[in-house]
Structure 1
Amino acid sequence: MTEKWKSLAAEKRQRLAGAIPREWTSASIPPPEQLDVTGFPKQSGSLSSRELEITDVADVDLLLRKLATAEWSAVEVTTAFCKRAAAAHQATNCLSEVFFEKALARAEDLDGYLRTRGEVVGPLHGLPISLKDMFNVKGVETTVGYASWVGNYAQEDAVIVAALYEAGAIPYVKTNVPQSAMFVETHNLLVGRTVNPCNRSLTSGGSSGGEGALIALKGSVLGVGTDLGGSIRIPAVYNGIYGLKPSYHRLPFHGCIGPLEGQDCVRAAVGPMSSSLGGLTTFMKAILNTQPWLKDPSVVPMSWNENLYALDGHGGGRRLCFAIVWDDGMVKPHPPVRRALRMAKDAITTAGHKVIDWQPLHHHDYNKLSSAIWLAGSRRDLLSLAKHDEPLLSNMGLEEDTSPGFFTGGRAKDATAYELWQLQSKMSKLRKEYLDHWQETASQTGTGRPVDAIICPASASVATPHGKNVYTSYTSVWNALDYAAAVFPVTKVDAAVDTKPAPHAFHSSIDKTYYEMYDPEAINGMPVGLQLVGRSLEEEAVLAMTQIVVDALRKGVHARL
C-alpha cells in the first residue's frame, strides 16, 4: 500500500501543474544538459513582447510609477508576471503554489479603484509580490516543504500578507523551500528540487531558494523570505539579486509557519528579496507604514526613520568608515569572493570613504552557540511536524538520505529549561562582548565614530553543487547578534581570473573541503555578491550605506569601461 504522504505529494504536483494554463507552458523546456536557462522565459514563446517589456523592468519603483499613472494596468502587469513565473517554474521548479485567478481578480479591483477614484490604494498598488511558502494566505495551502502538510489551507492571512494587501500589492505565487525550511538549499519530497537558473547543476540556495530563482528569472521583482541563519542572503547572492535580513523584531512574523516555533533567542527574521536595491527600501517603507506592531506583538513600534536613512548618526554619509572581513578564521573565501571584497574596498576608498580590516571576534563560538540553542529542542520539534510516516531528509544531496540529520541526530537533545537558560545567558554575554568590540573601533576610524558598517562575504563560495552548501557562518553570526544585513551583487566568476590558488594552511577540515571543492571552470559566469552589516534595528542605515557601496561599485565599473 502506498504511503499516504506519497499520494498527497502526487496529488499536489498534479494540481500545481494543472493550475498553470496550458497556453502558458512551453513545448520546448530546456533539456537537463542545458545548464544556463536564464534565457528560457523569453524563448518559451508564452509571453508577448509587451509582457516581456513589463517583466524586464528590474526597478520596482519604475514599475510602481507606471502602475500609479495607469500607463500599465494592474491586470496586464499581473498577467505578465504570472506568465513569467510559470516559465521560471518550468525551468527551475521554483514554485510550490500558484493562485493566478485570485491575483487577477485582485488586479481588476485595483484597476477599478484607480479608474474611479483617481488614486492608488497604497504605495505598492498593483505590484505582484511573491511569497516564500511559509506565509499563510487565506484559502491557500501552506506546506513548508512537507508532503504530509498537503491540505493545510490557511484560515487567515499572515500579518505581513495582510499588510501587503493594505499597501495595494498582489500576492500571486508561493515559492519552494526545503523540507522543514531548515537547510540553505532547496529540495523536498513534495515538489522536488529548485535549481539555480544560471547553472542548474548548482544550488539556488535556501531556504528561500524558490524566491531566489524566481526573481533571478524575472518571474518576480519583489518577494518575501525569512532568514534564520542566512536563508534570505545566501539565495540572494547565489542568484545575483538583493536581499535584506532585518533584525527580527522589525517586521511581523505572526502567521509565518515553520520549525522551532517558541524558540525565542536566535529567531528567524522576515525580509524582502528583490531585483533592485530600491525595491528593498520601498518594501520596508510600505510595510512599516501599516503599523504592523498593532497586529503582531513581537514587532517594535518603530516607523520608517527617514533620519536614520539619511545617515544622521553616520556623518550624513559624507565620510564613512567601513570594515572588511576578509576571512572569518574558519573557512577562507573562494577567489571570486575575495576579488569582490577587493573591488568593494577599491570602489569605497575611491569614493572618499575609509576602509579598515575587521577582526572577527569569536565568530565560531557564536555559530556553535546558535546551533546548540536550536538543537535544544529541534529533534522533537521536527519529528512532530512530519505526518503520515513522511521521512525527514538529512541533507540536500542528489541521493536522498533519510538517516538522522543534524537537527534530529545524535547532536540534537531534549534540553531541560535550565540547560537552555544557560545557553541563552552565554549568548547574552557574547552579544555584549561584540557590542564592546564594535565600539572600540572608534580609535581606528578617524571619524570620531565606531565603524559605520561591516562588509563581508555572505558565503565562502558562490553557488555550490547540490548538497555541498554546508558552511553558513558568514551569515549566521549576524543572526546570533541580531544585526541588520543586506546583500548585493558585485560581479561574476571569471575562470581566467579567479584561478585556483595553491593550498594554504587550512583553518579546519571544512576549510580544506571548501578548498578542494573550488573549480573555477564549473562555476564560470556565476553571480558573486557581498553582505553589508549594520547594528540591530538599523535597517534604514544599512539600506542607505548599501546604496553608497553599490553606487561606488557601479561608478568604478563605468570608469574602467
Structure 2
Amino acid sequence: MAAKFSISILILTVTLFVSTLTLVDSTYDMWKLSELFPRHPARWQQVASEKREANLAKIPPEWILEPQLLEDGRSRHSIVGDYIEGLLDAKSQYITDMDVPELVARMQEGILTAVEVVTAFCKRAAYAHQLSNLLLEVRFNEAIERARELDNYFKEHKQLVGPLHGIPLTLKDQFHIKGLDTSMGFIGWIGTFEGEKGTGKEKNVESELIREFNILGAVPIGKTTLMQSLWAPETNNNILGYAFNPCNRDLSTGGSSGGEGAMQALRGSAFGIGTDIGGSVSMPASFQGVFSIKPSAGRISFKDAANTGKGQEVMPTVVGIMGHSVDSLRLILKSLISTQPWLNDPYTLQIPWRFEKEYDPRGELGYKPAFGFLADDGVLTPHPPVSRAMEIVKEALQIKGHQLIEWDWPHNNETTEIHASIARGDGCPDVYDAVHLSGEPFVPEITNLFPNGKPRDPLPLPEYEEVVRRMKDYRERYLNYWTSTAERTGDRPVEVLLSPVTPYAGVLPGKYQPSTYTSSVNVLDYASVVIPVTLADKTIDIVSPSFKSLNEEDQINMMSYDPDKHHGAPAAVQLIGRRLDEERLLSLAQVVVESLNDYRSEHEKKGRS
C-alpha cells in the first residue's frame, strides 16, 4: 500500500513539474517583465524614485536650487513672472523673455548664439522642474551639444539650418527621442519600449515630429509630465505626482498636457508640444495663460508617437502647439508643414501652407470678418472670469466694426456621449495592462474608467458604428448651421466662432466635470486657437445673486467657483475654425489680439485721465 502511495506521489510530482515547465515556457516574456517589476508596492515606488533621482542628476550642480529657495517657491500662491525671473541671471532672463520670431532674428543677425539661447532655456526649465515637478525626461546636455553643432553650421555657411534654428522646445512625454525613455506616466514603461522589453527599440526610436524638428533646427530639451493614461483633464501620475498650476497653486494645470502648459507658463522653453483628443492642449493653455493651436487631424504628424487607444482613428489624437503669441504658433505650424510630412506619414494630409488672400480675410480692403459668439453651450454656464473675458473680446471686436452673431446651436450636449463612446469605447484595456505592469495603483482621476477594478466591456461593433454614424450626422448638421449664418451677416457665413475654452476659471483638484466646449471641437474635427485675455479678480468676478442654473450639473459647476481660490487664475477664450482652416483661423486670431491690445490701451488712457 505504501509503495503504491509513493508511486502515485511520484507520478503527481512529475506531472506538476512538466506542467510547470510548460507554463514557464508559455509565459517567459511575462516572467521577464515581472522580474523587472515585481508586483510589490515597494518596487514600483523604488522605480519611480530612481527615475526622479536620475533626472535630477542630469541638472548641472550650479542650477540646483537651495532648499530654502525651494521651500519658499513651493509655498507661494504664484511662481510665474517676477518670481521665477528673480531666480535668473540678467542674461538668462533677457533671452527667455523673447518670443520665437525674435529669437530666430537675433541668431540670424549673430547677436545671439544657439548655445546661449538653449542654455538659458535649459536653466529656466531646470528651475521650473524643481519648483513644480514638470520633467519626466531631461535632455539638457544633448541639447547644448546640438546647439554647438548649429552654431558651427552658422559660422561656416553664414545661414541658419532652418526657420526654427536653435529654438528650444519641450514636448509632452508621448514622443520618442533617441536616448530617452517614453513612459507616458506609466511606471511599467520605464526602461522599456511602450511596456515591452528586449525589442531593441528601447530608447532607440524617434517620432516623425522629432525628425522634422531636427530638420528645422529646433532643439528638444526635455519631455513634460502628463496624466497617467491621458484620460482625464488634470495631470497626475505616480512618477512625479499631481501637477499644480504655477499661476495659482490652489488649482490644477488641467490635462492631459498639463505639464507642458505649466512649462510654458514658466517659460522653461520657447514653445511646447502637446496632444489633444478632448481639449488636452486647449485646456492647459487656457488655465496657464498661454496661446495654443489645436489643428484638425492630418496637419501635424503623429507618426511613431506613444498613445493609448492607438487603433482608434475615427476621432484621432492630434498634435497641438503651445506658445506665447499667435506669430509663434503660425511660424511653428508653417515650418512643420514645410517639411512635407506626408512624404513620411500616410496619415498627414498633403496640404502645403496656404498664402492665398482667401485664407487671410484681413487682406480684403474694407472687409470686416464676422464672428460667431457662443456665450454658453446651454449645458454649463462659464464661471464669472470666463464670461468677463468673453465680453471683453466681444466689445474689443465690436469697437473695430466686426459683427458678432449670437450662436444659438441647441445640440451641443450631443457631443458628450459621442466623444466618450468613440474615444473610450474599447474600455481602455491597454491602460489597465500598462498600469499593472508595475503593480502601481491607478491615480484617483482615472479610477472611474475601471469599475470593480476591471476594464468595462467594449462597445459592440454595431453599436460603435451607430455612434460613428451619429458623429457624421452631427458634423453635417453643424456645418449646415454654420453656413446658414450668412443669412444673418448679410454677406458670408461667420469666419470663426468665439467661445469659452471651458466653463471653469481653472479647476480645483478633483472638481472637474465633462464639458462640451472642447470635446465638441474634436467631435467636429475643427481647429481652435486659445487666446489669453485677463485674470480672475475676486473683487469683481462674483456669481450674480440672480444666477439661475441650467440644470443640476450647472449648479454643481457654479458652486465649484470660489472667488478667493480662483483669484489670479488666467481666463482665456478660444476661436474655433472650420475643419482644416488653420491659416484663416490664425489670421483672425491675430485680429482678436490686435483688437484686444487697442482696447487695453484705450482703457489705460482713460484710467490715467
Question: If the TM-score is normalised by the length of the shorter chain, which range does it land in?
Answer: over 0.9
SS in 1 for 2:539: coil
1:207 to 256, 261, 264: 256
| 2:439 is aligned with 1:389 | yes
> Which residue matches 2:70?
29
CA distance in 1, matches of 2:336, 2:304: 15
The one-character-per-residue Cα deviations of 1:20-59 (angstroms, maximum 9, x if unpaired) are 1221011111444322112332333xx32111110111x2
Is the 8 Å Cα contact of residues 427 and 449 (structure 2) preserved in structure 1?
Answer: no
1:54 alignment counterpart:
95
Contact 2:362–2:587 (8 Å) recurs in 1 = no
2:28 corresponds in structure 1 to none
Q: How has the CA–CA distance of structure 1 residues 503 and 148 changed in structure 2, closer, same or farther, with 3 Å as cutoff?
A: farther
The residue number in structure 1 matching 2:403 is: 354
Greater shift, 223-232 or 300-309, is seen at 300-309
Residue 532 (structure 2) pairs with residue 532 (structure 1): no
CA distance in 2, matches of 1:471, 1:376: 16
Task: For residue 504 of structure 1, report the CA deviation from its aligned partner.
Answer: 3.0
How many Å apart are 1:418 and its aligned residue?
2.2
Shift of 1:327: 1.0
For residues 81 and 408 of structure 1, the distance between their equivalents in structure 2, rounded to whole angstroms, comes to 45
Q: Is 1:77 aligned to 2:123, yes or no?
A: no
| Cα shift readout 1:81-102 (whole Å, capped 9, x = no counterpart) | 0000011112221211111111
| Deviation readout 1:392-448 (Å, 9 max, x if unpaired) | 2241xxxxxx744379979943122222111111111111111111111110012x2
Q: Which residue of 2 aligns with 1:490?
A: 533
Partner residue, 1:415: 459
Amino acid at match of 2:109: T
In the alignment, which residue of structure 2 is the partner of 1:109? 149
Superimposed CA distance per residue, residues 454-512 of structure 1 (whole angstroms, 9 cap, x where no aligned partner): 00000101212112222332111010000010001011112111122226332222211
The SS at the match of 1:199 is coil
Distance 2:451 2:157 in 1: 53
User: Does structure 1 residue 20 correspond to structure 2 residue 59?
Assistant: yes
Alignment of 1:235-250 (within 5 A): 235-250=284-299
Give the direction of change, closer, same or farther, for the CA distance of 1:423–1:408 in structure 2 (3 Å limit).
Answer: farther
1:301 has 2:350 as partner: yes
Q: Are positions 1:148 and 2:192 aligned together? A: no
Structure 2 residue matching 1:346: 3-state secondary structure: helix
Q: Which residue in 1 is equivalent to 2:22? A: none
Query: Which residue is equivalent to 1:252?
Result: 301
Aligned with 1:297: secondary structure? coil
1:445 is matched with 489
User: For the structure 1 residues 408 and 145, does the alpha-carbon distance in structure 2 shift closer, same or farther, using more than 3 Å as the test?
Assistant: farther
Please tell me whether the aligned partners of residues 490 and 529 of structure 1 are also in contact (alpha carbons under 8 angstroms). yes
The Cα RMSD (Å) is 1.9
Alignment match of 2:601 (pick from 543, 554, 558): 558
CA distance in 1, matches of 2:190, 2:547: 49
Which residue of structure 1 aligns with residue 512 of structure 2? 469
Q: Tell me the SS of whatever aligns to 2:320.
A: strand
Contact 1:457 1:474 in 2 (8 A): yes
- Tell me how many residue pairs correspond in the alignment: 551
In the aligned structure 2, how far is the partner of 1:443 from the partner of 1:315? 21
How big is the shift at 1:380? 1.7
Over 3 Å counting, the alpha-carbon distance change for 1:312 and 1:552 in structure 2 is closer
Bigger radius of gyration? 2
Q: Distance in 2 between matches of 1:5 and 1:317?
A: 64
Counterparts of 1:133 and 1:550, CA distance in 2: 30
Note the C-alpha offset of 1:300.
0.5
State the percentage of identical aligned residues: 35
Query: What one-letter code is carried by the residue in structure 2 that aligns with 1:83?
Result: K
What secondary structure does 1:489 align onto?
strand
1:54 partner letter = I
Q: Report SS of the residue matched to 1:521.
A: helix
CA, structure 1 residues 432+523, in 2 after alignment: closer, same or farther (shift >3 Å)?
Answer: same
Q: 1: CA distance between counterparts of 2:368 and 2:149?
A: 48
- Change in CA separation of 1:355 and 1:312 when aligned onto 2, cut-off 3 Å: closer
Q: CA deviation at 1:244?
A: 0.3
Q: Measure how far apart 1:316 and its partner are.
A: 6.8
2:432 maps to amino acid: L
- Structure 1: how far apart are the matches of 2:459 and 2:265? 41
Which range moves more in the overlay, 33-42 or 160-169? 33-42
Counterpart AA for 1:130: T
Residues 25 and 308 of structure 1: CA distance in aligned 2, closer, same or farther (over 3 Å)? farther
| Deviation, structure 1 residue 309 | 7.5
- Which residue of 2 is the match for residue 424 of structure 1? 468
CA deviation profile, 1:511-534 (whole Å, cap 9, x unmatched): 111111111122112211000001
CA–CA distance in structure 2, aligned partners of residues 132 and 51 of structure 1:
24
SS of 1:378's equivalent in the other structure is coil
Cα distance change, pair 316–95 in 1 and its aligned pair in 2 (3 A): farther
Offset of 1:374 from its aligned partner? 2.2
Paired residues of 2:428 and 2:449 also in contact (CA < 8 A)? no
Residue equivalent to 1:68: 108
Return the offset for 1:110.
0.1
Map of 1:399 onto structure 2: none
Between the aligned partners of 1:41 and 1:491, the Cα distance in structure 2 is: 20
| Counterpart residue identity of residue 565, structure 2 | A
Cα distance change, pair 198–135 in 1 and its aligned pair in 2 (3 A): same
Q: SS at 1:195's partner residue? A: coil
User: What's the CA shift string for 1:255-284, capped at 9, x where partnerless?
Assistant: 221111111112211011001221100001
Q: Which has the higher helix share?
A: 2
**Contact preservation (8 Å) 2:250, 2:565:** no
Answer yes or no: is the 8 Å Cα contact 1:314–1:320 preserved in 2.
no
Question: Retained in 2: the 8 A contact 1:175–1:210?
Answer: yes
Code of the aligned partner of 1:388:
S
Q: Deviations over 1:290-337 (max 9, x none)?
A: 000111110100011112675259957831110111110110001111
How do residues 392-403 of structure 1 correspond to structure 2 at under 5 angstroms?
392-395=442-445, 403=447
Give deviations 1:168-193, integer Å, cap 9, x for gaps.
11011101101011211111001112
Secondary structure of the structure 1 residue equivalent to 2:267 = coil
Q: Distance in 1 between matches of 2:320 and 2:358?
A: 17
Q: What's the counterpart of residue 330 of structure 1?
A: 379
SS of corresponding position for 2:221 = strand
Whether 2:337 is the aligned partner of 1:288: answer yes
Closer/same/farther in 2, CA of residues 22 and 406 from structure 1, 3 Å limit:
same
Return the offset for 1:351. 0.8
- Whether 1:505 aligns to 2:548 is yes
**CA displacement at 1:13 relative to structure 2:** 1.0
Q: 1:408 to 1:439 in 2, by over 3 A?
A: farther
- Equivalent positions of 1:165-314 (< 5 A) are 165-307=214-356, 310-311=359-360
C-alpha separation between the residues in 2 aligned to 1:524 and 1:451? 34
Q: Distance in 2 between matches of 1:61 and 1:431?
A: 36
Choose from 392, 405, 424 the match for 1:343: 392
